Amino acid sequence: HDKLAARTRLLCDGLQSVADGEGVAFSTNRVGGMFGVFFSAEKVRSYTQATAADVALFNRFFHGMLKRGVYLAPSAFEAGFMSSAHTPDVIEATIAAAREAFKVVAAG
């Protein structure tokens, strides 16, 4: 479980870093092997905050990632799940795809 949580942290921290680099309001939540992403400048800690996140930006990001071969949960309100199949190389490739998808999101 510790290795799985570390991989989840690696992914979420990487996504946050590239979003920050593109100036996209974005935050992640995680526990163990489960994570959520929100297009919100503030950390999401409540239902109200989650539903206030920008769903249109999530949709653009989702389709940008899909175009780059990364399938995320298709709803802005669904959790993602990591597994032992998500090696550091896979996580690195996912973050690289996210860098490009965040550029599309930032461009509007």
Provide the CA 52 distance to its chain's centre, in angstroms.
17
- 64-82 pLDDT per residue, tens: 999 999 999 999 999 999 9
Q: Which long-range CB contacts under 8 A does 93-98 form with residues at least 24 apart? A: 94/11, 94/14, 94/70, 95/11, 95/14, 95/15, 95/17, 95/18, 97/65, 97/68, 97/69, 97/70, 98/14, 98/15, 98/18, 98/19, 98/61, 98/65, 98/70
Pairing verdict, β 34-38 and 27-31: antiparallel
pTM of the model as a whole? 0.94
Run of H or E residues at 62? helix 55-67
- Confidence class for position 108, pLDDT limits 50, 70, 90: confident
Mean pLDDT of the chain: 96
Using the predicted structure, report yes or no on whether residue 52 has a pLDDT greater than 90: yes
Whole-angstrom distance, CA of residue 77 vs CA of residue 8: 18
